[in-house]
A = this chain, B = another copy of it.
C-alpha cells in the first residue's frame, strides 16, 4: 500500500545507516517500500527481519519501473554515477532522489545524463559515527532537517507535472519519517554543509591528533570537552573523505575562515597580557544563536525532549504560482516547509 501522502512505492538502493533507517521507518509507517543492498550479508539480515530486500540490482530496478516507484539512491558519492546509468537503462521513467551529503556533484552527474526532469536532490542531516545495515535504526530522522533541492525549477524553462509530483513525494517522504523539510539549492546547501558539518569534522580530527600527541598523560586527562569536540573523529575515515573531498571548494572557504580566526587568536594569545576575549565572546554568542535556532537551548532540554525547533515554517503547494519565489524565500530564512 501507499500512505495517503506519498503517491508511489519507495525503492531504496543501498541499505546502510541512512538507507536502512529509511527502509525501517517507511515500513513502520505502513508504506510500500523495497530495497537493494550490494552486500549479500546485509541484504540477508534485512530479509531475516522481514523486509522486502534483494541483493540483485537489475531485477530491483525493473520492479521499480513496473511499480512506478520513487527511487532513493542511498549510496556514497563514489557509487552514484554508475547507479544513475543503471537507472537510465532499467528504470528510465522513474523519479528519483539521493541522500548524499554533497549536492552539487550529484546534480552535475544528473545533468550530464539529462535526467534532471525526474531528479530531486535531498539530504537528511542525520547520522551517527556508525555505518552499515547493522547501524540502521528506527527514528533516526525524527526532528532532523531534511534538505530538498529545487535547482531544476530555477534552471529549466518549464518543469513537468511529473517532476512537481516527485518533488512533493520527496517532501512527504521526509515528513513521513519525522523530519523537518528545508528547501535549498545545491550551492547554498553545500556552502552551509561545509560550515556546519565538514569543517567541524576537520576541527574534530585536529583536536583528536593534538590531544593524542601529548601521550599517555594527555589521554588520561581528557574529559568531557575533549570527548565531545572529538566525537565525530570516530567516523569511519572513508566517509569523512567522501564528504570533505566531494565538497572541497566550499570547504576551503570555511577552512580559510577558521584559519584566519585561529591565527588571529594565536596573535592575541602571544601578546602580554594574553587575551582570548574576542574569540570567547564571539564563539559564545554564535553558540547561543545556534541553540535558539534549533531549540536545543540548555534549560529547555531538561524540560522536554519532544520540543519542536525554532525554525520558521512556511506552508506551500508545489506547482502553485510563484512557488519558486517562496522556495528562495524559505532558503534565505532557513525555514522549514509544509506542503499540501
Interface positions of A (Cβ within 8 A of B): 125-130, 144-145, 147, 182, 184, 188-189, 191-193, 195-197, 199-238, 240-241, 244-245, 248, 251-252, 254-259, 261-263, 265-266, 269-270, 273-277, 279-291, 293-294, 296, 298, 311, 331-336
Q: How many Å lie between the Cα of A248 and that of B269 in the bound state?
A: 6
Taking the closest CB of chain B, its distance from the CB of A292, in whole angstroms, is 9
List chain B residues, Cβ under 8 A from A240: 276, 280, 283-284
List chain B residues, Cβ under 8 A from A284: 205, 208, 233-237, 240
B334 A209 Cβ-Cβ under 8 A: no
Nearest residue, chain B, Cβ from A200: B229
Q: Which of B129, B204, B224 contacts A229 (CB 8 A)?
A: B204
Smallest CB-CB A-B distances: 9 pairs: A205-B283, A220-B334, A212-B286, A216-B334, A248-B274, A237-B280, A125-B223, A233-B287, A208-B286
List chain B residues, Cβ under 8 A from A258: 206-207, 210, 262
A145 B221 Cβ-Cβ under 8 A: yes
B245 A275 Cβ-Cβ under 8 A: yes
Which of A281, A284, A294, A298 has the most chain B CB atoms closer than 10 A to its own CB? A284
List chain B residues, Cβ under 8 A from A263: 259
Nearest residue, chain B, Cβ from A331: B217
B220 A145 Cβ-Cβ under 8 A: yes
List chain B residues, Cβ under 8 A from A144: 223
Q: How many Å lie between the Cα of A318 and that of B219 in the bound state?
A: 25
Q: Which of B127, B213, B228, B333 contacts A216 (CB 8 A)?
A: B333
Taking the closest CB of chain B, its distance from the CB of A153, in whole angstroms, is 17
B192 A217 Cβ-Cβ under 8 A: yes
B269 A244 Cβ-Cβ under 8 A: yes
B331 A283 Cβ-Cβ under 8 A: no
Q: Which of B204, B218, B238 contacts A195 (CB 8 A)?
A: B218
Q: How many Å lie between the Cα of A62 and that of B202 in the bound state?
A: 53
Q: Which of B201, B237, B257 contacts A210 (CB 8 A)?
A: B257
Q: Which of B126, B218, B235, B270 contacts A192 (CB 8 A)?
A: B218
B273 A245 Cβ-Cβ under 8 A: yes
B211 A286 Cβ-Cβ under 8 A: yes
Q: How many Å lie between the Cα of A126 and that of B221 in the bound state?
A: 10
Taking the closest CB of chain B, its distance from the CB of A267, in whole angstroms, is 10
B202 A279 Cβ-Cβ under 8 A: yes
